[in-house]
Structure formats: structure tokens, C-alpha cells
Chain A
Amino acid sequence: MPRITIRRWLQIVLVVGVTVALLGAGDDARFNRLGHKLMCPCGCAEQLLECNHVGCAYSDGMRKELAAAVQTGASDDAILQQFAEKYGTTVLAAPTKHGFDIVAWIMPGVVLVSGAWLAVILIRKWKYRVAPAVQTSATAAQLDAFRARARQETEL
């Protein structure tokens, strides 16, 4: 079945893609990536690298700080941790994967999977449902005549 082929193919691409992505990239790319994982705390509700707020009291300094941190070669997690300690947890643009925060990440998947499971169960159940269709007391011969009429009236 072609659908399975696509799915299999997607899986392969996904596995290969993610593996390669994890190999990492240069400092510029890291700066860019991390800069999009941080928020600007000035109240503009933008990601750090996207705050263009004129005269923003935070973003310029934080960008320099981030560039310096990337230079030191510290790990991504360590850098983010360092920012969170300094500016508060709201500086991280997304919930972390520790403690209660992990719930944020898990829930959508849980809802998707349980929703799909429920849908399949429902479809299975509905398969055996007795449909309260229109009841009729007509004889088989009469019904055949009606069937012929329906066919004739709906022919293109």
C-alpha cells in the first residue's frame, strides 16, 4: 500500500535528518539557536534575537553576554541555565524538560495519542451500531420498483 511506503520513507528521513542535525554546527549557528531559545526580558514579548525595541535596556547587553558565553565553549544547557539563574526562569523561551515543566511537552502528545486511540475505538464500535434508518413495510417487489426509480432519477 502506498501509504505505508510514505510512512516508512518519512521515518527513514526523520531518523537520518535528526541524527545529522545532532552533529552540531558552528558558533554562529549556536548563537543563533540559543538566541531564539531566550526571551528578551524587557516586556516586549519577543525572542532575544528578535527584540528590535528602540533603546531596549536588556537585549544588546544580553546578546553580547550570549556571544561571550558561546565563545567559552560551555554546553547549550549550561548557558541557558546560567541565563535562567541571572534573569529568572521566564527568560527561557520554552519550558525546560525537568520537573513539572516536562508536563508541558508531554501533554500534546498524550492528547494526540489518546485521541487517535479513542477515534479508532469509536470507529470500531460504530461499525456494529444498528442504524435507526428509515423503516418500511413495503414488500420486496415494491422496494425493487422504488430502487429502479431512484436509479433512474439519479442517473447523470
Chain B
Amino acid sequence: MMLGLACLLLTAGVLVFVFAPVQRLESSPEKTRLVFLRERKETVYENLRDLNFEYKAGKFPEEDYQTMRASLEEEAAAVLSEIERLENLNSGILAKKGATGNPV
């Protein structure tokens, strides 16, 4: 008897917990290309900082360092330019929306 009651209470508690109405749904925004590029920029920057550090620690000869840094910087520049292009595009869209009075 006691046991049946305990099981019943347990089930009821669980059901309430699972199906109780939600006040606020957490949801992270869909990942955009801009976010991806920013992540990418961080990685390339991290690689560059590492390279600089290891060079200063005396692990690479000057010549190696220059080539490695050049190729990483090239990658960084491409990412940065893309980020800037997208950001400009976004603020353009925002400005346009603002002008026509549409809520964003």
C-alpha cells in the first residue's frame, strides 16, 4: 500500500517536472557566417600569437619565422576583410530598415 503510494507520488512529481509550463525558452541564435568568421579569426590570431611566442623563445630561425608568419597573416587578412564586408552589409540593412521605420 505504502509502496503503491510512493510510486504514484514519484510518477506525479516527475510528470509535473517534465510538463510544467515553461516561462522562458532558452535558445541560442542560428549560427551565422559572421560568427563563424569571428571564431576563425580568433583561431588564426591564436596561431599567430603562438608563432610569435615560439619565435621569441628561439625555436625557429628568422627565415622560417618570416614565411610562416606571412602565410598566417595572409589567412588573417582574408578573414578580416570578409568580416568587414559582412559587417558593412549588416549595418547597411539596419540603416535601411531604420529609415523606413520598420521595427528590427
Contact = CB atoms under 8 A, between A and B. Distances in A.
Query: Do the two chains touch directly in the complex (Cβ atoms below 8 Å apart)?
Result: yes
Interface of A: 133-138, 142-144, 146-147, 149-151, 153-156
Given A146-B76, A146-B77, A147-B77, A134 B82 contact: yes
Contacts of B49: 154, 156
29 contacts: A134-B37, A134-B40, A134-B78, A135-B78, A135-B82, A136-B77, A136-B82, A137-B81, A137-B85, A138-B81, A138-B85, A143-B77, A143-B78, A146-B77, A146-B84, A147-B73, A147-B74, A147-B77, A149-B80, A150-B45, A150-B73, A150-B77, A151-B69, A151-B73, A153-B45, A154-B45, A154-B76, A155-B52, A156-B52
Interface in B25-62: 37, 40, 44-45, 48-49, 52-53, 56
The range of chain B's interface size is 20 to 34
Contacts, number: 59
Residues of A contacting B: mostly? helix
A154 B48 contact: yes
B68 to A, nearest CB: 13
A73 B12 CA distance: 80
A15 to B, nearest CB: 35
Contacts of B48: 150-151, 154
The 9 A-B residue pairs with the shortest CB-CB distance in the complex, in nearest-first order: A150-B76, A146-B77, A138-B81, A154-B48, A146-B80, A147-B77, A136-B78, A143-B77, A136-B81
